[in-house]
Amino acid sequence: MPLVAHNNLPTFQRLKDGGELVLSLERATKQDIRELHIGFLNMMPDAALTATEQQFIRFIGASNQIAQFYVYPFSLPELNRGKATEAHIAEHYFSFGDIAEQGLDALIITGANVTNPSLEQERFWDPLMQVISWASDNVASVLCSCLATHAVVKHQHGIDRSLIGRKKWGVYSHKINRPEHPLMRDVNTRFDAPHSRHNEITRDQFESADLAVLVESGDAGVHLAVSPDLFRIVYFQGHPEYDAVSLLKEYKREVVRYFNGEREHGPRYPENYFSAEAGDVARQYFHAAEKAAAAGKDLPPFPDAELAALVDNTWGDTGKAIVNNWLGLVYNLTAHDRKEQFMPGIDPDDPLKMRA
């Protein structure tokens, strides 16, 4: 169903150029179709801000709900930004005050980079808690990604995440624990998903707070959990929104950091991500870069295009299906509040349930 380009956010045009259905505001207002208004709190660092923006907005646009999707990106002033990103946010993003006054049907909150040993020490902690507290009372559902999951679980349940000995980084096989849950409707019972994190909340911690673990991996831990009321808060620890090259970009960033002296050792490859051929290309580049650095010469160009052709996205369809199910539940809960017609399969007496 269509996204509505209700402001001049460049992501709308990029998605349209890529074949996504994006309506102009003028065209949208002439159609008699239900609207869903979705907030998007983007806390990602500058280098990943617009990519994350596009990834999540594309997921929303891929939903098959009978609705027009209005997406309202916003950020937090307390996050450290460069001038170019500040200008992008000032021109294309909304203020939380305006969004709160207008109201939303749902909210997505991304992860963020941290610089302190505990989340409460971050400059963005208090304003993030204000957003979460407002959303708890005013939004049908909140979908949290990565660090946002850790922050909300800490805020709502007093549970601290724990540091992993070695960064969980790569693509991992997962299994659905509760296939009957409405978020898992028409989703394969086994699928891949990427992870990229130094910290985790364990299954035992989620369940101690009465949060249902829907999807987990024997190697990567919990991928997806939900609040007891089925979907009011959705917790992702993995990254279903990642593009095929997202982990490749992270690997390149770590290689550059190594040769800039910002890390002691060269980075390992993301697990289960590089094929044997991709590993050969990456290894050859690293050796060539080491020789150049030892000789005091400029590093050779990183083989972005060659490696991009050798990595696969094995998780995107599953991520889209879960987000589609989430938006379907939001659609029906808000339909219940507005006394509108329900979609097939929803129990009108209890919109938090799927009819058998």
Under DSSP, is residue 321 helix (H, G, I), strand (E, B) or coil? helix
First-to-last C-alpha distance (Å) of the chain: 25
What pLDDT score was predicted for residue 19? 64
CB 126, CB 74: distance < 8 Å: no
As annotated, the active-site residues are 146, 239, 241
Residues 6+ apart with CB under 8 A from 338: none
What pLDDT score was predicted for residue 3? 76
How far, in Å, CA of 175 to CA of 215, rounded?
6
- Per-domain boundaries in the chain: 3-243+313-338, 246-308
Identify which of 154, 117, 121 has the alpha carbon closest to the alpha carbon of residue 233. 154
146-165 residues labelled b (16+ CB within 10 A) or e (exposed): bbbbbbbbbbeeebebeeee
CATH architecture assigned to 3-243+313-338: 3-Layer(aba) Sandwich (3.40)
Handedness of CA 142, 143, 148, 149 (dihedral sign): positive
What pLDDT score was predicted for residue 241? 96
What pLDDT score was predicted for residue 343? 46
Q: Which residues of the chain have pLDDT under 50?
A: 339, 341-344, 354-356
| ∠ Cα 341 344 349 (to 5°) | 60
Q: Is 48 left (phi over 0), alpha (psi -120 to 50) or beta?
A: alpha
| ∠ Cα 237 181 321 (to 5°) | 65
What pLDDT score was predicted for residue 342? 43
The two three-digit tokens of residue 256, written as one number: 């550059």
* Helix, strand and coil in the chain, % to nearest 5: 40, 20, 40
DSSP string across 77-92: TTS---HHHHHHHHHH
